[in-house]
Amino acid sequence: MSMVENLLRLHRWHLEERRRYLGELESLAERLRADALRLTTANDPRVERLDPDRTVDAGSGAFERKSVERRVRLEHSLAEIEAEIVEARGAVAEAETEAAHYELAAAQRTSARPGAILRGRRLRQSVPSALAHRHGR
């Protein structure tokens, strides 16, 4: 395996790791949104309760205050996660560019090998269209 192929493999691995991390962040953001929504609707007097026997007791003020504090912390965490998602998307885009660069270099290296002229022509024809498709061009 050549150095270019090793670098290509490394950049593909980096790309997959960044995509996985982005997916985990997006999943975490969805869970935080669901928790915040659940806390919001749990404290909303207009929402019909599933338990009709539930009555407001004297200690509900402290519970509601803690619930509001928790929701505020969730919303703060969600804002931080969304900022990380923006950064992670940028990292994914950068990793895609790097991987495409090394894919092109590997394709050019393959086409430059003796006896691989026909195969290289196929690669030169297919690589730019594959790159253009991946990057929306």
Q: How confident is the model at residue 53 (pLDDT cuts 50, 70, 90)?
A: low
Which two three-digit tokens encode residue 129?
């269209």
Q: Is the pLDDT of residue 13 over 90?
A: yes
- Domain parsing of the chain, residue ranges: 3-134
| Share above pLDDT 70 across residues of the chain, in percent, rounded to a whole number | 68
Distance, CA of 116 to CA of 110 (rounded, Å) = 7
Residues 6+ apart with CB under 8 A from 37: none
pLDDT at residue 22 above 50? yes
CATH number of the structural domain 3-134: 1.10.287
Region of residue 97 (phi > 0: left; psi between -120 and 50: alpha; otherwise: beta): alpha
pLDDT tier, 3 (very low <50, low <70, confident <90, very high otherwise): confident
Does position 115 have pLDDT exceeding 60, yes or no?
Answer: no
Q: For 59-99, what is each residue's pLDDT tens digit?
A: 567 777 888 788 889 999 999 999 999 999 999 999 999 99
* Residue at token pair 């969304």: 82
Q: Which of 6-10, 28-32, 116-120 has the lowest mean pLDDT?
A: 116-120
